[in-house]
Amino acid sequence: MSWLKILGAVIVGALLLTVGILLGHFAIPKGGNGPRAPSWVQTVGRDLNESLLQSFMDQVDSGKIRENLKALASQPHMATTKGDEELVKLLLRRWQDPQVGLDSASEDVYGAFLSFPDPQRPNSVAVGVCGSQIFSTRRSEKNVTADQTHADVVQPYAAYAPPGNPRGRLVYANQGKRSDYLELVNMGINLNGTIAITRYGVAGRADKAVNGAEFGVAGVVVYTDPADINDGRASEEETYPNSWYLPPSGVERGSYSRYFGDLLTPYYPAKGNMPGQGRALTHDGIPPIPTQPIGFEDAQTLICNLSGPVAPASWQGSLGCSYHVGPGFRTGGLFPNTSDVQVNVHNQRVIRNSSNVMGFIRGSEEPDRYVLYGNHRDSWVHGAIDPSSGTAVMLEITRVLGKMLKEGKWRPRRSIIFGSWGAEEFGLIGSTEYTEEFYSKLRERSVAYINVDISVFGERPSVLSSVSVYDNWRNHFNRISPSYGVIPNLGSLGAGSDYASFIHYLGITSKDIAYTYDRNKTSARIYPAYHTAFDTFDYADRFIDPGFTSHQAVARTVGNVLLRLADSLILPLNVSDYGEKLDELYSAAAQGDFLANLNANNLSLDPLKAAIGRFKSVAADFNQRITKLKEESPSPLQIRMVNDQIMLLERAFLNTQAFPNQYYYSHVIWASKSSDQATFPGLADAYTSALETGDWDQVQKHLTIVVHAVESAASTLEAVA
């Protein structure tokens, strides 16, 4: 055999070997070590795609947000009105769009218990006898930009305040706190049968009337003092449309109910098939007496003519006169000093169909895990800022996500549920009924709820610098964390928007996101046009966010949070951070009078200290296990296990026995409290109460509740086996 032949044979042999290797590798399924890997092996461990996230960020368009807001705020859209119904259709159209829509969207209707003024018989506050009135408050805001003349602008009223026409001497009662009325009594004023004028702030809307009624007050008037909202500016020249400040005729509308959720159907959805619970409409939740809000122009006419003692210094405001407390009018003023004031309220309570619009994107790997994101749709008038600034942001986020989805570029690991809530302004009705209807499955499957109500409410931001959202946040609102040093701070969620039932009732981790104003630059209680006929697109476009870059920043931030929650393989929530909160709440009790009084009553904080210590140690171990898990090749069920522990941590703090007198509240860390003690809410209230009543058993009970909750949270994070 020649060397050539040998070479040829070797080459042929090598070729055959190569063909064989190729055939063996590609043509024959792996069998020896088990079956060929099923297709889900490729996708089941997929993590967040950072470049997709960047692409999302790049696509968020400030111009489109502006267009959204213009469309959304083009007319008044109070809950269940024509304007609201049209926005329902707009939402459905956007979310069902074949090019940029979601997987699906639907309308979910509840029969909401609402309260409206009577268009035929306007509410008013008047001086003088019937037929010869000397003075009557404006029916509505003054026309400034033509928006105020729209036929659907609802006249100012106090929703849920009962109808009636009480008449009596006027008194000025500051903020309508219980202590304010007490102070008037201490001044020797007989409040029986009086009409109290109070300013917005500190006490809740309903509380001003509930407190007054306790002292015999017959009717309540509420106004916005320029000191509280306008940094003192009160003239037309200084206010909108010349600045972002509230014009003299502006009136804050609002729900005058202490409770959230449909008032007739607590804990059950307000649907036709639910016979209802008939929550007694007792007066502890809504005004027992006629109540009416007015503008500060009208308030000035009333307050600056009062007789009686000068009001305390802390009660004085910016109406341009010395506030007296009454009762009745001074001699030599606008009104004869015998004049009574009459509050005329003709509100009607009705049940009307209110819709949530729900949008849905199916998760690819864990469709049974929900990331929720909601914003209410209903306003009081045009609602450009409240809530349409949030809706405009949500629609831009769903547009970009919908586009990525429809183009086949993206599908989240977990399902995303979008909620456009109805009737929030009347008491978070749409979101609360939703959580009631789907309580069980939402509780079991929800990773987190993100809320954006008002998305931007600062005055025109400074020229945007290159400072990141994170740094800007940290610069303006921060705290010192023992673990991280100076970091952005988070406020506590109360019950001011649609997150309330998610966090308090279902125990779902919740976050509310907004771009707010620099509190060094203004002392305004909230943005000045809040709940008035001046909250318009023009107001937003000229004074709140020209260029809509703040809106864009919010959309990017929210989308970022949303995508990380929906797509991260391991949920991006650090359980250790709860330890810092527990420490903070513990420290407030473990010092000074609080501790001394506990000890004097044979109560020890040692079990609580031990429980928190255990929690922190267990949380640190948990994080180490996650780190280790990531280094291995974890099975999808191992990942799911730690994610379930993270998700359900919040649920471990729920205790349905803890607050028997408070609807919905069951979260031991975040429940509301009336005490000013900075510790766990139930413990704080029980302590403050015990100082008066001596009921230290209740304090003991709440210590048990807190210890049990913290121990349960630790047990949730411990190794499951």
Helices (H) and strands (E) in the chain, counts: 22, 18
Fill in the amino acid letter for 244.
W
DSSP 164-205: B--EE-EEE-TT--HHHHHHHHHTT---TT-EEEEESBSB-H
Nearest to 170 by CA among 227, 223, 247, 235: 223
Q: What angle do CA 266, 375, 383 make, to 5 degrees?
A: 105
How many C-beta atoms lie closer than 10 Å to residue 693's C-beta?
A: 10
State how far Cα 159 lies from the chain centre. 19
Q: How far is the CB of 133 from a copy of itself (least distance, A)?
A: 45
The catalytic position among 424, 425, 436, 437 is 424
Q: How far is the CB of 362 from a copy of itself (least distance, A)?
A: 4
57 DSSP β-pair partners: none
Owner of token pair 């060397």: 3
Nearest to 676 by CA among 604, 607, 593: 593
- Residue placing its CB nearer to a copy of itself in the complex, 25 or 314: 25
- Residue placing its CB nearer to a copy of itself in the complex, 624 or 704: 704
Q: How far is the CB of 637 from a copy of itself (least distance, A)?
A: 5
Backbone angles phi, psi at 169, to 5 degrees: -70, 145
Sign, CA dihedral 269-272-277-279, equals positive
Q: How far is the CB of 635 from a copy of itself (least distance, A)?
A: 4
- Residue placing its CB nearer to a copy of itself in the complex, 345 or 358: 358
Q: Distance between CA 126 and CA 237 in Å, rounded? A: 27
Q: How far is the CB of 21 from a copy of itself (least distance, A)?
A: 4
Q: How far is the CB of 271 from a copy of itself (least distance, A)?
A: 9
Sign, CA dihedral 15-21-24-27, equals negative
Residue 718 burial class via C-beta count within 10 angstroms: exposed 0-12, middle 13-18, buried 19 and up: middle
- Residue placing its CB nearer to a copy of itself in the complex, 39 or 520: 39
Q: How far is the CB of 270 from a copy of itself (least distance, A)?
A: 11
Q: How far is the CB of 710 from a copy of itself (least distance, A)?
A: 10
- What is residue 306's DSSP assignment? B
Radius of gyration of the chain (CA): 30
Backbone angles phi, psi at 168, to 5 degrees: 180, 180
Mapped onto helix, strand or coil, the DSSP state of residue 574 is coil
Q: How far is the CB of 275 from a copy of itself (least distance, A)?
A: 5
Instruction: Please enumerate, as own/partner, the contacts of 322-327 that have beta carbons within 8 Å and a separation of 24 or more.
Output: 323/172, 324/172, 325/171, 325/172, 325/173, 325/184, 325/187, 325/189, 326/169, 326/170, 326/171, 326/172, 326/189, 326/194, 327/169, 327/170, 327/171, 327/189, 327/190, 327/194
Q: Distance between CA 43 and CA 527 in Å, rounded? A: 47
Sign, CA dihedral 43-47-48-51, equals negative
- Residue placing its CB nearer to a copy of itself in the complex, 34 or 592: 34
- Residue placing its CB nearer to a copy of itself in the complex, 16 or 134: 16
How many C-beta atoms lie closer than 10 Å to residue 6's C-beta?
A: 10
Q: Which two tokens stand for residue 330?
A: 């001074």
How many C-beta atoms lie closer than 10 Å to residue 465's C-beta?
A: 9
Q: Distance between CA 290 and CA 221 in Å, rounded? A: 9
- Residue placing its CB nearer to a copy of itself in the complex, 12 or 596: 12
- Residue placing its CB nearer to a copy of itself in the complex, 595 or 641: 641
424 is catalytic: yes
Q: Which two tokens stand for residue 563?
A: 């995508």
- Residue placing its CB nearer to a copy of itself in the complex, 334 or 595: 595
- What is residue 267's DSSP assignment? T
Q: How far is the CB of 712 from a copy of itself (least distance, A)?
A: 4
Q: Which two tokens stand for residue 261?
A: 């959720």
Catalytic annotation, residues: 424
